[in-house]
Amino acid sequence: MDPLDALADIEMLAPPSATGAAAALLIAASVLAAVAWRRWRLRQRTPAAASMPAEREAMQRLAALRAAWETGTVGDREAAYRLCALLRIGLGLPALDPEGPPAGVDAESWRHWLRALQRVRYQHEEHPLTGGVFTLADSWLKRGDHA
């Protein structure tokens, strides 16, 4: 038996009609429009106040960090690391540079503040953290004329 004889009764499908292609395009366009509309609506529902400025958020986190440090929930070294990160983000600085204090900040107090935190963070022996570093950080964040 010839293998081609077995294929003789197979009929080719008719090409899709123009109406079928138009219907498929219409369905695809409707799905894309629905997805776009849904994303737009979700963005409209998000309140504008939900994104708080970095300095205001940093001030709130600083108050929480100070409270945790004062109650002993957070140790000196961890508090020093967090404090540096909060101030860097809150002031919009790429890094905390001893030679480049933010605008309006006294260079000497800036260097003294950074040295105190570096002692707590990096030296092997224990160095106690003082409440003054929180007070300075808070005053610098409240200035609002930086960056």
Q: How many CB atoms lie within 10 A of CB 55?
A: 20
Q: How much is the pTM?
A: 0.59
Average pLDDT of the chain, as a whole number: 82
Residue 7's Cβ-count burial label (10 Å; 0-12, 13-18, 19+) is exposed
User: What pLDDT is attached to residue 144?
Assistant: 58
> What pLDDT score does 55 carry?
66
Whole-number pLDDT of residue 49? 45
Q: Is the per-residue pLDDT at 53 higher than 80?
A: no
Residue 68 pLDDT more than 90?
yes
Q: Of 6-10, 11-15, 38-42, 50-54, which range is least confident?
A: 50-54
Q: Is the pLDDT of residue 47 over 70?
A: no
Beta strands in 3-129 (DSSP E): none
Tokens of 30: 């409707």
Other Cβ atoms less than 10 A from the Cβ of 86: the count is 23
Shortest CA distance to 69 belongs to which of 143, 133, 123, 21? 133
Domain spans of the chain? 3-49, 54-143
Contact between 116 and 130 under an 8 Å Cβ cutoff? The reply is: yes
**Predicted confidence band at 52 (pLDDT cuts at 50, 70, 90)?**
low
Please spell the DSSP secondary structure of 103-118, one letter per residue. Answer: TTS-HHHHHHHHHHHH
Max avg pLDDT among 27-36, 42-51, 91-100: 27-36
Compute the distance between CA of residue 101 and CA of residue 4 in angstroms, rounded to an integer: 86
Condensed to tens digits (0 to 9), the pLDDT of residues 84-112 reads 998 888 888 888 888 888 888 888 989 99
Which residues, other chains included, contact 76 with Cβ-Cβ below 8 Å and sequence gap of 6+? 69, 120, 126, 127, 128, 129
What pLDDT score does 57 carry? 81
